[in-house]
Amino acid sequence: MTQGESEMLDDSDLPLILQGAPDTTEFRKLRKRIIRETRAAIEQYGMVEPGARWLVCLSGGKDSYTLLAALIELKWRGLLPVELLACNLDQGQPGFPATVLPEFLTEMQVPHRIEYQDTYSIVMDKVPQGRTYCALCSRLRRGNLYRIAREEGCSAVVLGHHRDDLLETFFMNLFHGGRLATMPPKLVNEDGDLFVYRPLAFVAEEDCGRFARAMNYPIIPCDLCGSQDGLQRMQVKALLDEWEKRSPGRRNVMFRALMNARPSHLPDPALFDFIGLNRETAGGGTDQM
């Protein structure tokens, strides 16, 4: 982004969702960092198809608000040549403030679709007592979002997962799944007709929270998952928090490691041809003893 593109313009020139921001150096740096990192992920993983339409999933949490605001700013600056449609899937959770997001999106003049599907009752009926809701809840939500994207002519479903989500998923797979994997910034769904994008892949969760709170967005907590104690993800998050507390910057180092994988230095024969490895053709490698 050039200096002219990154300058903070007069509030009246901005889209409504970006107006009313704190006039402080700290917030301007935060906003620039989020925009820079979002743009970097979009470019690095080749997310843009000119003329495409994106279904931007909005849960009402801090991450999805940050995602929507960042994409709107990039589009407003002429750096994201796609059409954006915000979408909230109301899953029928008791006590969910169903009017908050429609009123917010209407006031912000953001094109949107609100869909009601009572997946909450299905989850409560199917998941045995004592088991976590996340897997089934996510699967039902994903299926509905794919359907909505097709109905709206969208080529991509865009999610608000951030850097810390990717790290937590990596360690959950490491500790509990027996595999080295996380949520990729870009993938194609199983049916092969939709992209799934995570443009906040480089953005820290803390930055999402600071941004959304500073903008005074009407944040809605997810009480369905948050009401369950002892979730694996919560345990992993606590572990990463402790590591970060002891060694500030640890999360950034670990995330860089995810982007610096060396198949020849991992014991997975499906990733590297160890059988075909020989002394004549293997020169130039770095020994790891």
pLDDT tens track for 256-287: 999 999 999 999 999 999 999 988 866 555 55
Q: Are 114 and 90 in contact (CB under 8 A)?
A: yes
Structural domain containing residue 81? 19-260
Q: Is residue 137 part of a domain?
A: yes
Q: Is residue 272 part of a domain?
A: no
Q: Please tell me the total count of domains within the chain.
A: 1
Matching residue, tokens 């009601």: 116
Q: Is residue 79 part of a domain?
A: yes
Tell me which DSSP letter residue 187 carries.
E
Q: Is residue 4 part of a domain?
A: no
* Beta pairing class for 112-116 and 83-90: parallel
Q: Is residue 288 part of a domain?
A: no
Domain of residue 149, CATH code:
3.40.50.620
Q: Is residue 169 part of a domain?
A: yes
Given its phi and psi angles, is residue 130 left (phi above 0), alpha (psi -120 to 50 degrees) or beta?
A: left
Q: Is residue 283 part of a domain?
A: no
Rounded distance, CA 91 to CA 137, Å? 9
Q: Are 132 and 226 in contact (CB under 8 A)?
A: no
What pLDDT is attached to residue 94? Answer: 82
List the helix and strand counts (H, then E) for the chain. 11, 6
Rounded distance, CA 93 to CA 123, Å? 10
Q: Is residue 56 part of a domain?
A: yes
Q: Per-residue pLDDT tens for 200-215?
A: 999 999 999 999 999 9
Residue 9 has pLDDT above 70, yes or no: no
- Cβ atoms within 10 Å, residue 67: 29
